[in-house]
């Protein structure tokens, strides 16, 4: 069994054991292939993002450390019949994610391959998409679901929502 399959199986087991949600996974939900979450500083694997889908919508996700310890299990508010759930593609489809990044790229910038990581804190999961200008200068854009934004310059002082706490 490969590592991704082990991660996926682990989420199924945790759900079955009632350890991620007493009511189990949402009805009709499927645990999809895990996506590695890269540490933003080193690029090493930080954790696994494991999507839980209802059809073409993202019902929630589990996040597991490399040793398969559960970090969190999260669900999106579903609204009536799941209509307010995010599109699965917003979180899993590289083309859709690049398109989102392109919408906020400056004229002349080309966007590169997205990498799932987090912005400053691990709870800020987001895809990082490099954007390179005609002069070769590069900056990072972030895409979190249907929300795209440019990397923020380092703040002079640590902030909640801003720079790292230990800065």
**Interacting residues toward other proteins by CB under 8 A:** 3, 6, 9-10, 13-14, 16-22, 39, 41-42, 44-46, 60, 65-77, 86, 119-126, 142, 144-147, 149, 152, 155, 157-166
Q: How far is the CB of 103 from other proteins (least distance, A)?
A: 14
Distance CA 139, CA 130 (A): 6
Q: Of 39 and 134, which has the nearer Cβ to other proteins?
A: 39
Q: How far is the CB of 142 from other proteins (least distance, A)?
A: 7
Q: Of 134 and 164, which has the nearer Cβ to other proteins?
A: 164
Q: How far is the CB of 69 from other proteins (least distance, A)?
A: 6
Distance CA 85, CA 103 (A): 22
Distance CA 112, CA 98 (A): 8
Q: Of 46 and 96, which has the nearer Cβ to other proteins?
A: 46
What are the residue ranges of helices labelled H in 30-131? Answer: 88-92, 94-104
Q: Of 110 and 149, which has the nearer Cβ to other proteins?
A: 149
What are the DSSP E strand ranges found in 4-120? 30-31, 35-38, 45-54, 57-64, 70-75, 110-111, 115-118
69 φ, ψ (degrees, to nearest 5): -70, 135
What is the rounded end-to-end Cα distance, in angstroms, of the chain?
Answer: 41
Q: How far is the CB of 134 from other proteins (least distance, A)?
A: 26
Q: Of 136 and 160, which has the nearer Cβ to other proteins?
A: 160
* The three-state (H, E, C) secondary structure of 26-43, written as one string: CCCCEECCCEEEECCCCC
Q: How far is the CB of 110 from other proteins (least distance, A)?
A: 22
């Amino acid at each position: 069994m490969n590592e991704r399959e082990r991660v996926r199986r682990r989420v199924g087991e945790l759900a079955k054991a009632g350890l991620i949600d007493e009511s189990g996974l949402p009805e009709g939900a499927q645990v999809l292939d895990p996506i590695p979450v890269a540490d933003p500083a080193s690029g090493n694997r930080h954790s696994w993002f494991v999507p839980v889908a209802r059809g073409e919508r993202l019902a929630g996700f589990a996040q597991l450390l490399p040793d398969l310890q559960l970090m969190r299990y999260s669900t999106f508010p579903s609204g009536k019949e799941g209509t307010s759930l995010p599109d699965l593609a917003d979180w899993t489809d590289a083309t859709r994610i690049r398109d989102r990044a392109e919408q906020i790229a400056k004229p002349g910038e080309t966007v590169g391959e997205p990498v799932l990581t987090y912005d400053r804190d691990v709870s800020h999961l987001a895809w990082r998409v490099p954007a390179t200008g005609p002069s070769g200068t590069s900056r990072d854009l972030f895409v979190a679901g249907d929300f795209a934004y440019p990397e923020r310059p380092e703040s002079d002082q640590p902030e909640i929502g801003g720079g790292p706490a230990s800065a």
